Structure 1
Amino acid sequence: MLASTRRAERRSAFILIAPFLLIYLVLFIYPTLKMLELSFTNAPLIGAGDWVYFKNYVRLFGDRLFKTAVWNTGYFVVLTVVPNVAIGLLIALMVDRLKGWTQSVVLAAFFLPYILPVSVVFLMWRWILDLQFGIAQYPIEFFYGERVPVFRTIPWFLPMVGLITIWWTNGFNVLLFIAGLRNISPEIYDAAAMDGANRWQLFWKITWPLIWPVTALVATIQLILQLKIFDQVYLFSVGGRSEPTMVLVQYIYREAFQRNHGGYAATIATALFVLIAALSVLQYQVLRARGAE
């Protein structure tokens, strides 16, 4: 009787997860394997090619533009991931102190940019930072001494795109942190306050340890998203010098869709896949270990 019950439970579980497994195999596993296979050929984007084995990978490690793209991608990650997480937590702490409709309005204001499509974000910030008419050029001129075409000036380009990305995506982080903060029982704060804990001690001894799992999750999500950065960099670099500001996904796009080098583009994509998987697992494990201390 017990054995038949277990078989029925396994059958039910398999039926429930079968659609997900099918979709996962068709939309992720199969394309990943095909990408890996394509990386060992000199095939165009569409059509068959000859096997070149590890020739693409040898070329990759000697490719100056690939090294530039890796550097720019890493630089962009440094510019955005930690500031995005820190700003999101700070905003969430402030919003969480509000009550009623005020909290809802403020939270909606911070989340609103996140629902905007990237094309709208591009047009909005291109106007704000326009060299002649942009309102952001006034503070730039005040502090820097002159107006700057930020999207055509290489040292300014990635930091400014990073700033725009933080403004655009931070609302999602705020929502995750708000959810984490609401899971902390107010009774814990009341008990600590009765023992004489000040606001900083409440945060450092209670809020920070209890919010750490959410922080690790947000940091991991941001790392993955920023390693795959493409839209903003591509749009803001249109018409300018794209090679000095090239990132990895943009390089894949150029090799695949503009130069019809499907095999080499798949090689770059494989390298990016391995990089994202390795760094994501490493960061999450480090953050989880830090939270367990």
Structure 2
Amino acid sequence: MLRDKRQEYLTALILVGPFVLIYGVLFVWPTIQMVMLSFTDAPLIGPGEWVAWENYVKILGHRLFHSAFWNTAYFVLLTVIPNTLVSLLIAMAVNRLDGWKQGLVLACFFLPYILPVSVVFLTWNWIIDVQYGLAQVFVRPFNGGEPMSLTRTIPAFMPTVAFVTIWWTMGFNILLFIAGLRTISPEIYEAASLDSAGRWRQFSRITWPLIWPITVLVLTIQLIAQLKIFDQVYLFSIGGRQDATITLVQYIYKLAFQQNRGGEAATAAVLLFAMIVVLSVLQYQLLRARGEK
């Protein structure tokens, strides 16, 4: 028995070892290095002097960090819950289709998700263009009949980028929700119909509770992704007031690659990393606990 156990441990080590090694080299060790770097005044490349908590005090008191924090929080508010709700509604509608119709409609919604951010930016930059953009047809009535640059007007910038982000990323969420909806047996709905349960009652008492784990997963994925927002905001803000629409990852990029302040950039990255871990774990645990009640 002892020999068999040793063989099992050896087999497990052979199977798990490569993953643990790669994970340690590509994630754990760089994370430790980043934390150590955050306590120095090092440039982007090269060593620096130990400054203890000075970088953290400086970053937390920096006006631009506060602006980046609130812009990121605002973007998360505009995208995470709306994206989840819209994806759920579309998934429920697509799930009612049959055969090739369902596959075609699902492909249409999923197609934007596989596009690179540069293509998404160029496409929507053309759509919202002030001179010939198709979106100006809907913008003019709200701007006194005049066209408006949605990416150069500060109040409209974040909602515009949030809308583009939802359009771009909801395909994956729809796929997850459809996978969850397909696990629900049609017999449950048939039994509910025999009890004269309407669509809203079926949704609130059957569909919503049974796909709650999928909803928790989608919300958690969206929260982590949107806290790390960079590409869309950076591209749409080129040529405009970037400091007014800066996000946390942009702030890190600015410190590291534009100002050559590697230690402070690492400090901001550690703060963002801690924020993502705490918020995502807290949200997941709260939502899971709610689903178990």
Shift of 1:13: 1.2
Show the counterpart of 2:14: 15
Match of 2:61 in 1: 62
What residue is the counterpart of 1:112 in the other structure? 111
2-structure distance, mates of 1:8, 1:183:
38
State the 1:217 CA deviation: 0.2
- The letter of the residue matching 2:161 is V
Q: Tell me the alpha carbon deviations over residues 85-122 of structure 1, each in whole angstroms, 9 at most, x when there is no partner.
A: 00000000000000000000000000011011000010
Q: What code does the residue aligned with 2:131 have?
A: Q
The C-alpha deviation readout for 1:19-61, integer Å capped at 9, x for no partner, is: 1101110010000000000000111111111111111001012
1:243 aligns with 2:243: yes
Q: Distance in 2 between matches of 1:9 and 1:176?
A: 35
Range with bigger deviation, 53-62 or 213-222: 53-62
What letter corresponds to residue 188 of structure 2 in structure 1?
I
Look up the match of 2:208.
Answer: 208
1:1-293 → structure 2 map (5 Å cutoff): 1=1, 3-145=2-144, 146-293=146-293
What is the one-letter code of the residue matched to 1:82?
Answer: I
- Root-mean-square deviation (Å): 0.8
For 1:46, the aligned partner's letter is I
In 2, distance between residues paired with 1:136 and 1:196? 44
CA distance in 2 between counterparts of 1:124 and 1:88 reads 22
Q: How far off is 1:76 after superposition?
A: 0.3
CA distance in 2, matches of 1:264, 1:100: 55
Amino acid across the alignment from 2:269: A
Point out the more displaced range, 98-107 or 198-207.
198-207
Q: Which moved more, 1:14-23 or 1:189-198?
A: 189-198
Q: CA separation in 2, counterparts of 1:191 and 1:8? A: 51
Q: Tell me how far apart the structure 2 counterparts of residues 270 and 132 of structure 1 sit (CA, whole Å).
A: 43
How many residues matched? Answer: 292
> How much identity, in percent, do the aligned residues show?
63
Calculate the TM-score normalised by the size of structure 2: 0.98
* TM-score, normalised relative to structure 1: 0.98
> How far apart are 1:142 and its partner, in Å?
2.1
